[in-house]
Amino acid sequence: MTVKLNAFEIFEIAEQIEHNGAMFYRKAANIFDDPHVCEMFIKLSEWETKHKKVFASMKKQLSDLNLEPGTFKPEEKLPVPKAMAGLAVFGIKPEPAEELNGKESEAEILKKAIEKEEDSIVFYNGLKDFVPAKAAKNKIDDIIQEEMRHIRILNRLCKRKD
């Protein structure tokens, strides 16, 4: 069975991914004792919230257009955007911050965060196939660049902990 997804629905998923990321980083900030690391996680959360707003704006701009939907071929019926976002980047839990129980080491949390950023880059590269406008693709590329910057920041924090 082929399920059609339009750009509006894809941007809903992207918004949820960014929301999940912001929640994950907020919770991670509360786990760390190191004020520098805590502050960095708070900044990462704020940046993810900013990305969510960019995707919301892009969704709003595209929602009035009559676009040819992209296709997605899952074996089953397509889940709601919140669930799909969880599967795409932040694991199968609907609230990815619940992955953190406070017992993880700083290194474990940093490693999880890097993996999530890498997964989001993969998702956003695929997202570009669903948007026809070059300007929208450029905005997605900008977000991908920021996600790559997040990975560099997280890697620096990892090296600091070694």
For the chain, the domains span 3-161
Q: Which of 64, 89, 90, 84 is nearest to 72 (CA)?
A: 84
Q: Is the pLDDT of residue 149 over 80?
A: yes
Buried b (16+ CB within 10 A) or exposed e, 9-20: bbbbbbbbbbbb
Topology of the domain comprising 3-161: Ferritin (1.20.1260)
| pLDDT tens digits along 4-35 | 556 677 778 888 888 988 999 999 999 888 89
Are 56 and 15 in contact by the 8 Å Cβ rule? The answer is yes
User: What token pair was written down for 52?
Assistant: 């969510």
pTM attached to this predicted model: 0.73
- Write the DSSP assignment of 53-102 as a string of letters: HHHHHHHHHHHTS-PPPEEE--SSPPPPHHHHHHHHTS-SSSSGGGG--S
Q: What is the dihedral of CA 70, 75, 81, 85, to 10 degrees?
A: -100
| pLDDT tens digits along 35-91 | 988 998 999 999 999 989 988 887 777 665 544 444 444 443 444 455 455 445 544
Collect all residues with Cβ–Cβ distance below 8 Å to 80 and sequence separation of at least 6.
Answer: none
